[in-house]
Amino acid sequence: MAKIFVTRQLPGQALEALAQEHDVQIFPEPRPITEKELYEGIKDAEVLISLLTDRIDSKAIQAGPNLKIIANYAVGYNNIDVDWATAFDIAVLNTPGVLTDASADLAFGLLLAAARRIPEGDRFIRKGQWKGWDPSLLLGPHVSGKTLGILGMGRIGQAVAKRAIGFGMKLLYSNQRQLPAGIERELGAEFVTVNDLLTQSDFVSLHCPLTPETKHLINRKSLAQMKPGAILINTARGAVVDEDALVETLQSGHLFAAGLDVYEDEPNVHPGLLAHPQVVLAPHLGSATQETRNEMASLLVRGIQALFKNKVPNNLINPEIIK
């Protein structure tokens, strides 16, 4: 029987199944765990199930001397010092694949909401400002037939591209590696440089991981390169975008709008983004469907159970620890 510490109650029944065989302790508060509470929770634990909001750095890992597994309830794992975990033979799991469709749906929903000014229209009606149909009321750019640039063409980026096909959009993408020719043909997507993508796209959707190289990838210079009237969508990680620069660019009128699900300093949101009427804001809802969140927990539990049986799960980030 292993001692397992979970930093937040998770949806579904997966943790209950795990608790039938192991000692599962769940942080009881419906809020982010503090550093002190995290260290106390993992001091004797062999398994940590963490959230993307939990910073699992070298100090945290040292606070859990018995840790064998860190299971991150997210596909991204920039909150974990994977190199340090690997050095101490700690397996790190994440949740790839299962949240692809939900995240792509949300990204395209933000695109449509920002372009067609749906949240503005909702607020307009609720405030009693609508006096009847007007030919110039809340005009926005056309979506169908426009050019969508996707920065980061992994699972989610490709799923967004498939949704754009239904709108007859021209697809450009930039990625660390060019996709196989067959996938490019299937999507009708053209591989271009980041600069070309920014200058040619009517919509830019971010789907790259947060790394030292991608932090503030979207900055004053890159925002200035975007087409006048373009729309930026970010469902990747908040720090990929320099929010000060984004606010300045929106206020200048160079960008038409933005749709954001992630932020540099979550849960804090830049005041300039809150104040701008053509910024659509979502509280990190990318994977927020019942089915997806349940399956994310189940995937982590299956990975933990596989490791207990000396098997290598598909969602193991650092397979080099397996001897």
- The residues carrying an active-site annotation are 237, 266, 284
Q: Is the peptide bond before 135 cis (omega within 30 degrees of 0)?
A: no
Structure tokens of 130?
């609508």
Residues contacting residue 9 through CB under 8 Å, at least 6 positions apart = 15, 26, 27, 28, 30
**Helix count and strand count (H, E) for the chain:** 13, 12
Q: 178-197 burial string, b = 16+ CB within 10 Å, else e?
A: ebeeeebeebebebbebeeb
Under 8 Å between Cβ of 197 and 207: no
DSSP summary character for residue 319: G
Query: Dihedral angle at the C-alpha atoms of 222, 236, 274, 194, nearest 10 degrees?
Result: 10
24 forms beta bridges with 4
Question: DSSP labels for 25-52?
Answer: EE--SSSPPPHHHHHHHHSS-SEEEEET
DSSP summary character for residue 130: -
